[in-house]
Amino acid sequence: MKTTLVHTEDKDRKWFVVDATDKPAGRLAAEVTAILRGKNKVTFAPHMDSGDFVIVINAEKVKLTGSKEQKKLYQHYTGYNSGLKKFTAATIRQKNPTRIVTQAVKGMLPRNKLSRTHLTRLKVYAGSEHPHVAQKPEVLELSL
């Protein structure tokens, strides 16, 4: 039996909508990452980009289990001396609620050249409205 690889121009990319209301952030990110990479398709190959687009709505209502709301830290370095900035998940939820989902998905993607391409196909919105109606996205029910 011969293995066939699908070329980039032969791929049909679908759009999916995921509602993040009361879903644990890590489990949601794991399912979304699999779709972004294309692991739900028969033609999956780890070295090829065969993933779909994912729209995550209601990111402000994503659930953090346990005491992560007060104890989980999101940090980044500004590049200046003593420029390490640390924020709790509660502060991030107020300032930029989409960052919780985006960082969780980014952390679950493999560290390779395709990860940036996969991340550009992730669209995260804090509310229930999104501007991608023209793409006719399918509603995706996750088994969490």
What is the SS3 assignment for 25? helix
Residue 1 scores a pLDDT above 80: no
Superfamily, domain 14-63+98-139: Ribosomal protein L13 (3.90.1180.10)
pLDDT in tens, 29-68: 999 999 999 999 888 888 888 899 999 999 999 999 999 9
pTM, full prediction: 0.92
Instruction: Tell me if 33 sits within 8 A of 9, measured CB to CB.
Output: no
For the segment 89-118, the average pLDDT, to the nearest whole number, is: 96
- Domain boundaries defined on the chain: 14-63+98-139
What is the pLDDT confidence band of residue 20, given thresholds at 50, 70 and 90?
very high
DSSP 72-141: -EEEEE-SSTT-EEEEEHHHHHHH-THHHHHHHHHHHS-SSTTHHHHHHTEEE-SSS--S-GGG-PEE--
